[in-house]
A and B are shown apart, each in its own frame.
Chain A
Amino acid sequence: MIHFVLLISRQGKVRLTKWYSPYSQKERTKVIRELGGVILSRGPKLCNFVDWRGFKVVYKRYASLYFCMCIDQDDNELEVLEIIHHFVEILDRYFGSVCELDLIFNFHKAYYILDELLLAGELQESSKKTVARLIAAQDSLVETAKEQASSISNIIAQATK
């Protein structure tokens, strides 16, 4: 299974973290510091796998972002690379040629997409189209709720409460 997903920028800034195994806040910072050091220092033409504390970390760089996933020893590294690529493609489709800024400003959306893709550390949805559809459906749910909330009548109702 996938234990966690990290997105780290080339400057070492964390863009997204998702933990599927229990890690305390302290451990999380430590993990990120450690792995950031290991992965960012690796050259461009090396393999995408790092052995780390008995686990394997599969990472891939897309533009300025490193996508990292930590998996068990007997998991399939190439499969995880494909999952990463899958995730990137979905992001790309959703944001329309995604860039780091998209993820910075829509940090929660990136999470929601990831949540559609992975659950409990396993791949849930292998179809890009389905993920796009699901996300769109949820977005519309959120939007209608927001519209309700921000309507003038709602504000007035609240103020006079």
Chain B
Amino acid sequence: MSGPSLMDSLFQRSLEDIIKGLRQQLIGEQAFISKALDEIRKEIKSTDLSTKSTALLKLSYLSNLHFHDMSFAAFPALEVLSSPRFSHKKIAYHAISFSFHDSTPVLLLITNHLRKDLNSTNEFEVSLSLQCLSRIANVDLARDLTPEVFTLLSSNKLYVRKRAVAVVLRVFEKYPDSVRVCFKRLVENLENSDPQILSSVVGVFSELACKDPRSYLPLAPEFYKILVDSKSNWISIKVLKIFSKLAPLEPRLAKRVVEPVCDLLRNTGAKSLLFECIRTVVTSLSEYESAVRLAVGKVREFLMDDDPNLKYLGLQALRIVAEKHLWAVSENKEVVIKSLSDADPNIKIESLRLVMAMVSEHNVSEISRVLVNYALKSDPVFCNEILGSILSTCSRNLYEIIVDFDWYVSLLGEMSRIPHCQMGEEIENQLIDIGLRVKDVRPELVRVARYLLIDPALLGNSFLHSVLSAAAWASGEYVEFSRNPLELMEALLQPRTSLLPPSIRGIYIQSAFKVLVFCLHTCFVRGGSIVPSASLNNLPAGVSASASYESFDEFSVENGADVTVVHGQTRASAPITKESIVNLLNLVELALGPLLGSHDVEVQERARNLLGIVDLTKPEVLNSSVQEKDDSEGKGVETSQIIKLMHDAFSKELGPVSLSAQGKVSLPDGLVLKENLGDLEMICGDIEPPSSNSFSFGSPYEEKDGLSFSNLQIKEDSEQSNESTSLLAEHRKRHGLYYLPSGKSELISNDYPPANDPTLQCDINDNDDNLVKITAESLVPKRKPNHGKPRPVVVKLNEVDEKPVAMKQPESRDGSLSGAVRDVLFGREDIPPTSSQSNLSNKPSSKRKGKEKQHTDPHLESKENVIDDGNSSSRRKDRSHGKERRHRSPRKKNFEERKDTDQKEKEKSRRHHGRHKSRQRAEEPLKVTAQTPVIPDFLL
């Protein structure tokens, strides 16, 4: 056997040797450590416990401070644990609580060791064992050791008892059923006179109350007593924390608590306690004006203090107050603004948040101005912090606080030019979003976009690329507002665009396409009179499309007089002549020629499209510029028809589309969707059908043949795709690796599904009317009477509310624990501990309500309940007795110690509690309905 001999254990290196060796670093740290680890591996197999424990100690040192894996020592650690010597145990416990986790395989073996030590007569061993349990407890350990912990909760050694109390928290978390056993004793400890134990118990309750305050309301009288009597700041802080959770649930409790809290607030000298009082007042007692005044006064002292800690906390407290008492912030405005230039980034961020809390629609422009100036001066991190908060504040609730969108769009442009700006994507989203939602702002948007596009320097900044893509898109989409399309074209095709990533380059080229079509259209169809007007009528669908375009034009003329000014200027400042068109075409050829060989399909394809139309029109333009009009009539008509079609396609407005739009599309006759899709679902399972998230632009093809054709096409498509997508889906399932993630969004976020569904064409005019009507309705209550300039219409959509779902999640996680606590406190044993949260909250409230009507004493009732239910297991019966006693004991005390009024109040508060809960429940559906959008639009 290669086990270590006596010599090994005699000359074993101690921990100190290791530390010294590490510090000398003769052979390098890593080499030394690996050598030491080799030794340890050998030593830890020793049969001698001293050698083993020293090895373990060394290993835990290396693992602790040099992060070496020590999982291989899990079993040896258990062996050391079984040593009778205290020093060995200590080392073992330390190693175990550091290295064990839920999936450690030998965790099962530790239960008996822990149990043995928990029953030990040596209080230090008990303490070690408790400590270890608090760290490594899992469900099994917590379940198996609950009886021991229960015994220790009433140990006559205070040292052990207070530690047992602290550990109970972990046991509860892991094994909620232990609440039934231990809760009563835990509560009894609340009446202990020893401050250490009290501190422990209150600590446990403050943690428990954080997770589910409602369950602990019945204990409020006990907490109140502690709050009033406590001499220790540690305890007071914890009790205040409990009350800050309980008070919002029970107005009567808040009323009672406010006075003692204010007393503490006035009299205490300890800053930590003072701060806890402040926080309790501002979070939970904010209805009590005088208390808030007092607290804000103290906050002011904090703010004036030189200690940055107090200043920071003062700002934080102010932020909590700001939600309900904005005056508190305004009163301290100077300090807050001054803190924006504090040396400490944390303080700066706090004050920034406060400043943003003060923003309203009246001061948004001044505050933004101040902040942007700060952003220019400050370091990159804080600069982006500022920009981010401006962006999120201004876009809140669909730009609720923005009245002057022209200003906001130019602010966005300005922000993107700030050197440190890294908020490109957010700015991009907002630029596009505003462009789609707010018609009136489009001219300004195009102007801002032009400034961004025209500056070659910006192309070098990769953070700005997404802003540029938005600018390119906007100037292409709304090219009719552009003052000088030719210049725009040059900007879009400038050589430095090669610095852009391909996806954005594709957008640039597509925008160039739109601009070109616009120029050609202005030149041929509007400006030049080459095309005889009769030819327009040859296009049946084109007419309807152009009609919609006209209607849009009218709309914009009606809405903003400046739009027409821009239109006028367009023609005045940059007349599009034949020569300029020729130049334009040459420019396109020159710039895009090389891109035909691009490796990126997006770029290549769009470039090819654009060059295709250049090829198509160029001979025409050249011809017509040289020759007489009449000669080229036949071909000219064809070309201009195409241009016209293209133009119509592009000039159709893209609106934001609701997420639920698809549901409103009426099913065309003869299209059978369900059957095949049912099959698809079986095959696909959880895979989402691939959907295109980017906009698709109405193709001229569809326009030509109108609705019927596009329907036909869709029908064909879907028939084919039923077959092919199922195959595709299967393939995707098998080789998912090679597919793109299905939820990939490109230029525009998922909020806008494809816009070319058939209803867009048939309903567009109706929808325009709807839009005007509906948005007018929705704006009425919000519009403030005295704006210098009316706020432009912001198109709104159904927003999918995910909030309720998100809020429910954390509740259900704690469900079992709080459920168990409620069972014990409210005397309910009939609910299985594993039932879900919703179940729990429903049952007690409805039952309680009924009860209170019939019986005067809910406790009597609860007892009956237990008996009625006839618990089968004797263990349960035992518990129910214990619980009864528990319910009486505080009651009795109440009678002795408090006046009847108190008693009544408590009674009332309990009853109120029950009512409150049911009210809350009643409110829930209401809230949900309020959150669901009122406007039934789907496509605006």
Contact = CB atoms under 8 A, between A and B. Distances in A.
A155 B51 CA distance: 12
A82 B272 contact: yes
A1 B207 contact: yes
B67 A78 contact: no
Interface string B187-222: 000000001100110011001001000000000000
Contacts of A159: 6
Contacts of A120: 134-135, 166-167, 169-170
Nearest to B203: A122
A124 B87 contact: no
A129 B199 CA distance: 17
Interface in A49-78: 49-51, 72, 74, 76-78
Contact of A76 (B15, B90, B237): B237
A30 to B, nearest CB: 10
A129 B503 CA distance: 69
Interface in A142-161: 142, 145-146, 148-149, 155, 158-159
A119 interface: yes
Contacts of B88: 145
Contacts of B624: none
A11 interface: no
Nearest to B102: A22
Interface in B618-673: none
Contacts of A15: 65
A60 to B, nearest CB: 10
A159 to B, nearest CB: 5
B69 interface: yes
Contacts of A97: none
Interface stretch (B305-313, B542-550, B751-759): B305-313
A17 B87 contact: no
B87 A141 contact: yes
Nearest to A148: B85
B91 interface: yes
Given A22-B101, A78-B309, A126-B196, A108 B203 contact: no
Contacts of A25: 63, 67, 69
Which of B16, B86, B130, B347 has the largest count of A CB atoms less than 10 A from its CB?
B86
The secondary-structure label for the interface of chain B is: helix
A123 B203 contact: yes
A20 B135 contact: yes
A123 B197 CA distance: 11
Interface in B304-350: 308-309, 311-313, 343-347
Contacts of B85: 145, 148-149
B210 A74 contact: yes
Interface in A105-135: 105, 107-108, 111-112, 115, 119-120, 122-127, 134
Interface in A1-52: 1, 13-17, 19-20, 22, 24-25, 28-29, 43, 45-51
A48 B163 contact: no
B19 A104 contact: yes
A47 B241 contact: no
A107 B64 contact: yes
B346 A47 contact: yes
Contact of A122 (B61, B166, B210, B344): B166
Interface string B135-154: 10000000000000000000
Interface residues of A, number: 56
Contacts of B196: 124-127
B210 to A, nearest CB: 7
B90 A105 contact: no
Interface in B62-116: 63-65, 67, 69, 85-88, 90-91, 94, 98, 101-102
Contact of B272 (A19, A76, A137): A76
Contacts of B344: 43, 45-47
B101 A141 contact: no
A43 B343 CA distance: 9
A126 B238 CA distance: 14
B233 to A, nearest CB: 8
Interface in B1-30: 6, 9-10, 15-16, 19, 23
A72 B203 CA distance: 14
A41 B545 CA distance: 63
Contacts of A88: none
A14 B124 CA distance: 28
B134 A107 contact: no
Nearest to B244: A74
Interface in A77-108: 77-79, 81-82, 104-105, 107-108
Contacts of A155: 6, 10
B124 A138 contact: yes
Which of A20, A119, A127 has the largest count of B CB atoms less than 10 A from its CB?
A119
Contact of B343 (A45, A76, A134): A45
Interface string B268-279: 000110011001
A125 to B, nearest CB: 7
15 contacts: A20-B135, A25-B63, A46-B346, A72-B210, A74-B210, A74-B279, A76-B279, A107-B65, A119-B166, A119-B167, A120-B166, A126-B195, A126-B196, A126-B232, A159-B6
6 A-B pairs closest in CB distance: A78-B272, A47-B308, A120-B134, A46-B344, A142-B87, A47-B312
Interface of A: 1, 13-17, 19-20, 22, 24-25, 28-29, 43, 45-51, 72, 74, 76-79, 81-82, 104-105, 107-108, 111-112, 115, 119-120, 122-127, 134, 137-138, 141-142, 145-146, 148-149, 155, 158-159
Given A28-B67, A120-B169, A124-B200, 7 more contacts: A22-B101, A47-B344, A49-B309, A81-B272, A126-B195, A126-B234, A155-B6
